[in-house]
Amino acid sequence: MSRRAQQHRVAELLDEIAARRRRLYALKAWGARPAGLRTLKAELAAVRHELAEATGPVGLGRVA
């Protein structure tokens, strides 16, 4: 994957994480119960995991 494509993918994932967090916060503010948020939290965790995979190990320099 080219560097530009990877940057685009990481930006998309960061935007998706931000949108999911805003939705969770809004639902919490409107009184959603924790059990009702379980699936949304799991989906957020999955997107975070995907971001971690896309960025690779932290601290290890990349050789281009």
Return the pLDDT at 62: 53
Chain segment 6-64, per-residue pLDDT in tens:
999 999 999 999 999 999 999 999 999 999 899 999 999 999 999 999 998 765 555 44
Does residue 56 contact residue 62 with C-beta atoms inside 8 Å? yes
Q: Give one DSSP letter per residue of 42-60, joined into a string.
A: HHHHHHHHHHHHHH-STTP
**SS3 call for 30:** coil
pTM of this structure:
0.81
Q: What is the pLDDT of residue 57?
A: 73
Spatial distance between the Cα atoms of 61 and 64, rounded to a whole number of angstroms? 10
Structure tokens at 29: 């503010």
Domain residue limits, the chain:
3-55
Tokens at residue 54, please?
A: 């896309």
